[in-house]
């Protein structure tokens, strides 16, 4: 069944249509990519899903529940979590603290319990910290628990951001350009890591990505946006051959002339 389905979603800013009449269905447990040129409305769609923006028209359903008019924190509690294109960690908190904040939706104690240090509070804090350390190990940052998020190297920050997103035990994980700024080796590693996420944890993954090697390598399904409209969808193979996609990326002339070599081109776009 589909875990997330966007039905005729439109988001306008004044006169600008950032996302127009978009329909996207996500199979549970799949890895799906959204690609498209800059300004195509990909991140806007993410923002609509997470409730940062309210959709202008249409509806987004998650697990059969409508996300319209729900605030961001409630949507996170339903089981959607995300990372950001330009990493947005809590830079001056330690890595463990970052993950602990991510665990927030699953912590139950009332704030007054913290004042009296009730047994329940102490146990929950202990468990939460153990879980945070486990996640840290899982993303390969074991031993870095007490360093500041700000001081981590770039790749580690990306991983920490994913760990933080995983801490809320999401069913759906939105990754906004997880390999941006990485060299091919790092990208390949991140790709394996994302695949493992799905295989180990069964999390559905929706990602925005520009690196075609990554997109073609791990996606089971791809949606292509251009100017807020969906211009194509399908398996990586189908997308690579789609003339409209090539046109959107390379312009009209290129589309007709280079159609035969598409595989090579789209892999380097």
Q: Two tokens at 216? A: 């073609």
Task: Determine, following the binding rule CB under 8 A, whether residue 114 of this chain makes contact with other proteins.
Answer: yes
Task: Determine, following the binding rule CB under 8 A, whether residue 267 of this chain makes contact with other proteins.
Answer: no
- Non-local (6+) Cβ contacts of 147 within 8 A are 94, 95
Q: Two tokens at 89? A: 């960690």
Whose tokens are 């978009």? That residue is: 22
User: Which listed residue (104, 123, 126, 244) binds other proteins by CB under 8 A?
Assistant: 104
Task: Determine, following the binding rule CB under 8 A, whether residue 144 of this chain makes contact with other proteins.
Answer: yes
User: Which listed residue (59, 130, 137, 143) binds other proteins by CB under 8 A?
Assistant: 143
Q: Show contacts of 228-235: CB within 8 Å, 24+ apart.
A: 228/11, 228/17, 228/18, 228/19, 228/20, 228/22, 228/40, 228/41, 228/44, 229/20, 229/21, 229/22, 230/22, 230/23, 230/24
How many of the chain's residues bind other proteins (CB under 8 A)?
A: 45
Whichever of 143 and 181 has its CB closer to other proteins, that residue is: 143
The backbone torsions φ and ψ at residue 167, rounded to the nearest 5 degrees and listed phi first, read: -60, -25
Q: Using CA atoms, how far apart are residues 149 and 89, in angstroms rounded to an integer?
A: 7
Task: Determine, following the binding rule CB under 8 A, whether residue 117 of this chain makes contact with other proteins.
Answer: yes
Nearest distance from residue 103's CB to other proteins, in Å?
Answer: 9
Whichever of 92 and 256 has its CB closer to other proteins, that residue is: 92
Instruction: List the strands of the sheet with 57-62, edge to edge.
Output: 16-27, 2-13, 57-62, 65-66
User: Which listed residue (29, 37, 145, 234) binds other proteins by CB under 8 A?
Assistant: 145
User: Which listed residue (156, 160, 173, 216) binds other proteins by CB under 8 A?
Assistant: 156
Task: Determine, following the binding rule CB under 8 A, whether residue 244 of this chain makes contact with other proteins.
Answer: no
- Note whether 176 and 43 are within 8 A (CB): yes
Task: Determine, following the binding rule CB under 8 A, whether residue 97 of this chain makes contact with other proteins.
Answer: yes
**Site track 67-86 with other proteins (rule: CB under 8 A), x = hit:** --x-xxx--xx---xx-x--
Task: Determine, following the binding rule CB under 8 A, whether residue 148 of this chain makes contact with other proteins.
Answer: yes
- Non-local (6+) Cβ contacts of 50 within 8 A are 72, 75, 76, 80, 82, 174
Task: Determine, following the binding rule CB under 8 A, whether residue 130 of this chain makes contact with other proteins.
Answer: no
Task: Determine, following the binding rule CB under 8 A, whether residue 44 of this chain makes contact with other proteins.
Answer: no
Contact residues toward other proteins (CB under 8 A) are 50, 52, 69, 71-73, 76-77, 81-82, 84, 88, 90-93, 97, 100-102, 104-105, 107, 109, 111, 114-117, 121, 125, 142-148, 150-153, 156, 164, 168
């Amino acid at each position: 069944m589909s875990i997330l389905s966007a039905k005729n979603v439109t988001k306008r800013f004044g006169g600008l249509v950032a996302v127009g009449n978009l329909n996207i269905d996500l199979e549970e447990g799949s890895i799906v990519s959204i690609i498209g040129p800059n300004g195509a409305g990909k991140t806007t769609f993410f923002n609509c899903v997470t409730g940062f923006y309210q959709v202008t028209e249409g509806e987004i359903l998650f697990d059969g529940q409508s996300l319209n008019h729900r605030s961001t924190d409630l949507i996170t509690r339903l089981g959607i979590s995300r990372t950001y294109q330009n990493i947005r960690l809590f830079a001056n908190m330690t890595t463990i603290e970052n993950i602990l904040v991510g665990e927030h939706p699953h912590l139950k104690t009332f704030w007054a319990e913290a004042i009296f240090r009730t047994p329940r509070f102490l146990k929950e804090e202990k468990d939460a910290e153990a879980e945070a350390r486990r996640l840290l190990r899982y993303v390969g940052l074991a031993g870095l628990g007490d360093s500041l998020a700000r001081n981590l190297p770039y790749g580690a920050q990306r991983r920490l951001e994913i760990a933080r997103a995983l801490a809320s035990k999401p069913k759906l994980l939105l990754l906004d350009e997880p390999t941006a700024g990485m060299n091919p080796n790092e990208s390949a590693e991140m790709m394996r890591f994302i695949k493992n996420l799905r295989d180990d944890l069964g999390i559905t993954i929706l990602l925005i990505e520009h690196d075609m090697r990554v997109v073609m390598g791990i996606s089971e399904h791809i949606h292509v946006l251009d100017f807020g409209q969906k211009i194509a969808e399908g398996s990586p193979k189908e997308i690579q051959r789609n003339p409209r996609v090539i046109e959107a990326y390379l312009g009209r002339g290129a589309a007709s002339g280079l159609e035969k070599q598409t595989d090579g081109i789209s892999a380097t776009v």
